[in-house]
């Protein structure tokens, strides 16, 4: 039995939110909006998705209401916490023409406040660490991402209710969080098991009305997490697909995928690790000022592979191939691991239900060729 685990009774759960608010954090958490669970400002625990379960399948996402008191009995929604660090669209700098005709440039500093996000899933923490590698751990650090990242406190919630499209157990990124959070919760019927991962999380725990977790509570949480991993039926064919994918660039399955794929880019928009963006200039009509912005891009967009007058990936076959070979193959050389954390969003939110795990298995020679 572990001595470092605490128990917070369900009735006392609101103290977690109020403690964070009293410490000056802007609090964010999952809540229902337009038929999906999304992250937004959390003013009260009543906004959390109490009794909500999700049913996901390739091309399908549905929510159901039950009488359960549980707040986290669902897997995930269409967005991870990526938009809180890497915003979908932001202005980076402005230029202004002076009266004498000179152009003056000014950086636009992002307005950032200390933010605590409650309800972050283990797979999304893994994705955040991949985004850190891209935006923070290269020769050039992204100051916009860095500023937001430094102000972030994370309350993770282990996943006891994976859905049909989840496969985080096979990528090693869930259903239990092992790193990257301040506090992690595991929800039980009558409350929450809490574990602090760092000093900041420990200091926060000390302010909560917790008790030492009993052996029975710890066993209950352990069984729930083992069961959550066992429930997952999908998996990628191995951890490092770099060689297998790049050896099969002419596999006929790429065209079979392209025959179904709409090229909509949903898979890249919902993926918590995708970081592609484009930059552009928006000039005022009077020609005196302009804004330079960046916004999320996708390897499915027409401009993504446009170089010097040529679109080097003009068709859906090569666009999808770029998406998968980079995500599951090229990332190993670039960032030391696969770019997939097994959240399953690209499967659920693909309008035609293309399943990354099944397609990768076919291309790597492990799947059903008649699919
Ligand atoms: S590739 Fe799909 S399953 Fe993997 S992290 Fe991205 S959205 Fe999730
Ligand atoms: S794989 Fe699905 S989600 Fe991705 S671009 Fe094609 S149709 Fe859209």
Please state the atom number of ligand 1 nearest to the C-alpha of residue 347. 2
Q: What is the pLDDT of residues 221-266, one digit of tens each?
A: 999 999 999 999 999 987 789 999 999 999 999 999 999 999 999 9
CA 74 – ligand 2 centroid, Å: 24
CA 167 – ligand 1 centroid, Å: 9
User: Is the Cβ atom of 244 under 6 angstroms away from ligand 2?
Assistant: no
Q: What is the pLDDT of residues 112-129, one digit of tens each?
A: 999 999 999 999 999 999
pLDDT greater than 50 at residue 73: yes
**Residue ID of nearest Cα to ligand 2 atom 8:** 264
According to DSSP, the β-strands at 60-65 and 52-57 are: antiparallel
Ligand located closest to 78 CA: 1
pLDDT greater than 90 at residue 3: no
User: Is the Cβ atom of 347 under 6 angstroms away from ligand 2?
Assistant: no
CA 342 – ligand 1 centroid, Å: 5
d(CA 20, CA 321) in angstroms, rounded, equals: 44
* Least confident piece of the model among 26-40, 236-250, 356-370: 356-370
Out of 345, 347, 348, 360, mutate this one to test ligand 1's pocket (max ligand atoms within 8 Å of CB): namely 345
Which pTM value belongs to this model?
Answer: 0.95
DSSP string, 5-28: -EEEEGGGTHHHHHHHHHTTPEEE
Q: What is the pLDDT of residues 184-211, one digit of tens each?
A: 999 999 999 999 999 999 999 999 999 9
pLDDT at 238: 79
Q: What is the pLDDT of residues 144-185, one digit of tens each?
A: 999 999 999 999 999 999 999 999 999 999 999 999 999 999
User: Is the Cβ atom of 339 under 6 angstroms away from ligand 2?
Assistant: no
* Residue 371: band (very low, low, confident or very high) from pLDDT cuts 50, 70, 90: very low
d(CA 169, CA 122) in angstroms, rounded, equals: 10
pLDDT greater than 70 at residue 368: no
CA 192 – ligand 1 centroid, Å: 28
User: Is the Cβ atom of 264 under 6 angstroms away from ligand 2?
Assistant: yes
**Per-chain mean pLDDT for the chain:** 96
Q: What is the pLDDT of residues 96-111, one digit of tens each?
A: 999 999 999 999 999 9
Please state the atom number of ligand 1 nearest to the C-alpha of residue 274. 6
Residue 312 DSSP SS3: coil
User: Is the Cβ atom of 354 under 6 angstroms away from ligand 2?
Assistant: yes
pLDDT at 157: 98
pLDDT greater than 60 at residue 369: no
Alpha helices in 63-118 (DSSP H): 82-85
Nearest to 154 by CA among 188, 117, 114, 109: 117
If you average pLDDT over residues 57-62, what whole number do you get? 98
Residue reference for tokens 């797979």: 123
Q: What is the pLDDT of residues 273-331, one digit of tens each?
A: 999 999 999 999 988 999 999 999 999 998 999 999 999 999 999 999 999 999 999 99
Separation in Å, CA 26 to CA 29, 40, 114, 298, 346:
10, 10, 6, 30, 29
Domain segments of the chain as ranges: 6-87+110-231, 242-276+299-363
User: Is the Cβ atom of 126 under 6 angstroms away from ligand 1?
Assistant: no
Q: What is the pLDDT of residues 77-103, one digit of tens each?
A: 999 999 999 999 999 999 999 999 999
Four-CA torsion 24, 29, 32, 35, nearest 10 degrees = 130
């Amino acid at each position: 039995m572990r001595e470092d685990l605490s128990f917070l009774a369900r009735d006392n759960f609101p103290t977690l939110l109020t403690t964070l608010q009293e410490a000056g954090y802007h609090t964010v958490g999952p809540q229902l909006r337009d038929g999906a669970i999304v992250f937004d400002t959390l003013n009260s625990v009543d906004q959390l998705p109490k009794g909500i379960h999700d049913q996901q399948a390739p091309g399908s996402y549905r929510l159901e209401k039950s009488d359960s008191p549980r707040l986290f009995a669902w897997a995930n929604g269409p967005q991870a916490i990526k938009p809180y660090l890497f915003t979908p669209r932001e202005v980076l700098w402005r230029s202004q023409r002076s009266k004498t005709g000179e152009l003056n440039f000014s950086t636009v500093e992002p307005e950032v406040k200390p933010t605590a996000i409650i309800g972050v899933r283990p797979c999304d923490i893994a994705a955040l660490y991949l985004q850190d590698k891209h935006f923070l751990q290269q020769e050039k650090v992204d100051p916009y991402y860095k500023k937001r990242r430094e102000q972030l406190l994370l309350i993770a919630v282990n996943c006891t209710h994976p859905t049909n499209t989840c496969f985080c157990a096979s990528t090693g990124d869930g259903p239990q969080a092992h790193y990257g959070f301040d506090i992690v919760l595991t929800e039980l019927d009558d409350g929450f098991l809490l574990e602090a991962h760092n000093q900041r999380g420990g200091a926060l725990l000390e302010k909560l009305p917790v008790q030492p977790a009993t052996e029975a509570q710890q066993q209950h949480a352990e069984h729930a997490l083992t069961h959550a991993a066992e429930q997952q039926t999908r998996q990628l064919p191995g951890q490092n697909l770099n060689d297998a994918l790049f050896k099969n660039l002419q596999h006929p399955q790429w065209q079979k995928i392209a025959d179904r794929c709409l090229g909509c880019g949903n898979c890249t928009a919902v993926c918590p690790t995708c970081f592609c963006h484009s930059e552009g200039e928006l000039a005022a009509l009077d020609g005196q000022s302009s804004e330079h912005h960046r916004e999320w891009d996708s390897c499915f967009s027409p401009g993504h592979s446009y170089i010097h007058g040529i679109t080097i990936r003009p068709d859906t076959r090569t666009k999808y191939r770029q998406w998968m070979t980079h995500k599951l193959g090229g990332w190993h050389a670039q960032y030391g691991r696969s770019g997939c954390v097994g959240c399953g969003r690209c499967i659920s939110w693909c309008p035609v239900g293309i399943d990354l795990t099944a397609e990768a298995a076919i291309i790597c020679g492990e799947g059903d060729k008649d699919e």
